[in-house]
């Protein structure tokens, strides 16, 4: 019986072997940066109670209103595939008492799920690397997050492709006052609002500022600016943040309309934006969220973090040399029963003696000619060749595949020396 072909869920993608070399190389750079700045990894479940996201992200946000993958499990409990990582991270830190006298710098990475309309740069399962810090109220940690980002962009060779946009959302009270002004302003133009914005006018008017509808831009341009409603201490925080960026030569654009899609942000917010990915141009975004820990039942704890969208980052790096895969160093060819056995033993010994050596052993039988074809196709630097004769003499022939050069026959110790000088001493 033949079955019909199954496909992956819409908006959820496989990351194929020709893509994983880029992912791995980029991840190595990201991890190195995190280590260099003193961040520790935390690993979190992918599923959380639905309640957690409702209480943290906010009931009237896009995510909670229409993007969550929510289901009832066999015990009748409402669970949700995480749409983002911050809520789960805060939940875990409270649950395990990590926040007492905290000065935490954490990171995590993994899939997130949002039921959005799939398009380039927007998927239903996507991956984020998230960074969260707890216990530090000052703007210096906000600036440190930006520096970590810049360190990454430089190491990846994309610093010139990303622009930093910053804003301050002030405190909850300041936003409340501003919100009234904003509603008053947009209400006088209610006829000109699109459907989404009209709906948001009384639920989440700040989100109107975030509208991507070109017809709305002139109206948004003329709206009152949140920054003008900030009190002294919020202004000082923002100024402190900006001063630190200036001190280390980070350039930025002040964007008074940057509000972010989640309710829990306050004070500093930022986005790294590129022009190279069309409408889905935000690669990395974050900010401060000083009230969330308390909102989720913990002691008041200042917090600041960001999430980096890995698919968008990879899309920016598509033509980078990092995208190249690592072909094997060696491809082993064996012909004849005794050569097969000797080769197997050699291969195991080589892998043991030379960690990091990439040695692919031909599988299945075949003539020298057909095995050579496979060796060539593998991209390996050298073929290791064993016939009955070599096996009998406990030797192996080494033939360069990528450049002209003579074939030589070596015993095991000479082969080790050769591989050392070829692959380990450069």
Positions touching ligand ATP (CB under 6 A) are 84, 114, 116, 121-123, 126, 128, 261, 280, 282-285, 307, 309, 311-312
Q: Which is nearer to ligand ATP, 270 or 346 (CB)?
A: 270
Give the separation between CA 41 and CA 156, rounded to whole angstroms.
21
* Nearest distance, CB of residue 168 and ligand ATP, angstroms: 17
Rg of the chain in Å (alpha carbons): 28
* Nearest distance, CB of residue 8 and ligand ATP, angstroms: 15
* Nearest distance, CB of residue 382 and ligand ATP, angstroms: 41
Copy the structure tokens of residue 224: 């009152």
Q: Which is nearer to ligand ATP, 19 or 116 (CB)?
A: 116
Other Cβ atoms within 10 Å of 70 Cβ, number: 15
Residue nearest to ligand ATP (CB): 309
Q: Which is nearer to ligand ATP, 312 or 329 (CB)?
A: 312
Q: Which is nearer to ligand ATP, 131 or 339 (CB)?
A: 131
* Nearest distance, CB of residue 283 and ligand ATP, angstroms: 5
Name, in order, each residue with C-beta under 8 angstroms of 264's C-beta and a sequence gap of 6 or more.
Answer: 56, 57, 58, 86, 289, 291, 292, 295
* Nearest distance, CB of residue 9 and ligand ATP, angstroms: 14
Task: Report phi then psi at 251, rounded to 5.
Answer: -90, 150
* Nearest distance, CB of residue 327 and ligand ATP, angstroms: 30
272, 283 in Cβ contact below 8 A?
yes
* Nearest distance, CB of residue 63 and ligand ATP, angstroms: 7
* Nearest distance, CB of residue 259 and ligand ATP, angstroms: 10
Other Cβ atoms within 10 Å of 162 Cβ, number: 22
Q: Which is nearer to ligand ATP, 50 or 280 (CB)?
A: 280
* Nearest distance, CB of residue 77 and ligand ATP, angstroms: 25
Q: Which is nearer to ligand ATP, 84 or 390 (CB)?
A: 84
Task: Report phi then psi at 399, rounded to 5.
Answer: -125, 125
Give the separation between CA 77 and CA 93, rounded to whole angstroms.
23
Other Cβ atoms within 10 Å of 38 Cβ, number: 9
Q: Which is nearer to ligand ATP, 280 or 338 (CB)?
A: 280
From start to end of 56-189, where are the E strands? 69-72, 78-81, 104-113, 125-134, 163-168
Strand, coil or helix: 137: coil
209, 153 in Cβ contact below 8 A?
no
Copy the structure tokens of residue 280: 């889905």
Q: Which is nearer to ligand ATP, 312 or 334 (CB)?
A: 312
* Nearest distance, CB of residue 318 and ligand ATP, angstroms: 15
* Nearest distance, CB of residue 228 and ligand ATP, angstroms: 24
Query: Which ranges constitute the DSSP H helices of 300-410?
Result: 310-316, 337-353, 368-378, 388-393
Q: Which is nearer to ligand ATP, 130 or 343 (CB)?
A: 130
Question: Positive or negative CA dihedral for 89, 90, 96, 99?
Answer: positive
388-396: long-range pairs with CB below 8 Å, 24+:
388/335, 388/336, 388/338, 388/339, 390/339, 390/342, 391/336, 391/338, 391/339, 391/341, 391/342, 391/343, 392/338, 394/342, 396/343, 396/346
Q: Which is nearer to ligand ATP, 252 or 412 (CB)?
A: 252
Q: Which is nearer to ligand ATP, 145 or 283 (CB)?
A: 283
Other Cβ atoms within 10 Å of 129 Cβ, number: 22
Residue 63 DSSP one-character state? I
């Amino acid at each position: 019986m033949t079955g019909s072909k199954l496909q992956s869920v819409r908006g959820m993608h496989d990351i194929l072997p020709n893509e994983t070399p880029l992912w791995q190389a980029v991840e190595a750079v990201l991890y190195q940066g995190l280590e260099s700045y003193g961040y520790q990894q935390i690993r979190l479940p992918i599923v959380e109670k639905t309640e957690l996201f409702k209480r943290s992200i906010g009931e009237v946000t896009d995510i909670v209103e229409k993007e969550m993958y929510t289901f009832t499990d066999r015990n009748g409990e409402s669970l949700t595939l995480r749409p983002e990582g911050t809520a789960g991270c805060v939940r875990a830190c409270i649950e395990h008492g990590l926040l007492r006298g905290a000065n935490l710098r954490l990171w995590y990475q993994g899939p997130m799920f949002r039921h959005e309309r799939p398009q380039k740069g927007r998927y239903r399962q996507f991956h984020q690397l998230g960074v969260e810090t707890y216990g530090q109220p000052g703007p210096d940690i906000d600036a440190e997050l930006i520096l970590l980002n810049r360190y990454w962009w430089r190491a990846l060779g994309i610093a010139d492709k990303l622009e930093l946009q910053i804003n301050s959302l002030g405190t909850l009270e300041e936003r409340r006052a501003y919100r009234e002004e904003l509603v008053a302003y947009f209400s006088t133009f209610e006829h000109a609002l699109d459907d989404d914005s009209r709906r948001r006018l009384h639920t989440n008017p700040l989100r109107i500022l975030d509208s991507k509808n070109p017809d709305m831009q002139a109206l948004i341009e003329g709206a009152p600016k949140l920054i003008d409603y900030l009190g002294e201490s919020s202004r000082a925080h923002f100024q402190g943040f900006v001063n630190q960026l200036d001190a280390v030569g980070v350039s930025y654009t002040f964007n008074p309309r940057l509000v972010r899609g989640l309710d829990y942000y306050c004070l500093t917010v930022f986005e790294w934006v590129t022009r190279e990915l069309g409408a889905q141009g935000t690669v990395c975004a974050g900010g401060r969220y000083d009230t969330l820990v308390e909102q989720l039942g913990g002691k008041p704890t200042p917090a600041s973090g960001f999430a980096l969208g890995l698919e968008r980052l990879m899309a920016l790096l598509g033509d980078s040399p990092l995208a190249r895969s690592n072909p094997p160093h060696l491809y082993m060819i064996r012909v004849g029963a005794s050569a097969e056995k000797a080769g197997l033993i050699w291969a195991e010994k080589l892998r043991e003696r030379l960690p990091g050596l990439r040695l692919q052993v031909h599988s299945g039988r075949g003539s020298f000619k057909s095995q050579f074809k496979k060796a060539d196709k593998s991209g390996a630097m050298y073929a290791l060749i064993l016939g009955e004769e070599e096996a009998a003499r406990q030797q192996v022939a080494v033939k360069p595949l990528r450049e002209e050069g003579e074939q030589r026959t070596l015993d095991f110790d000479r082969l080790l020396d050769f591989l050392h000088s070829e692959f380990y001493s450069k």
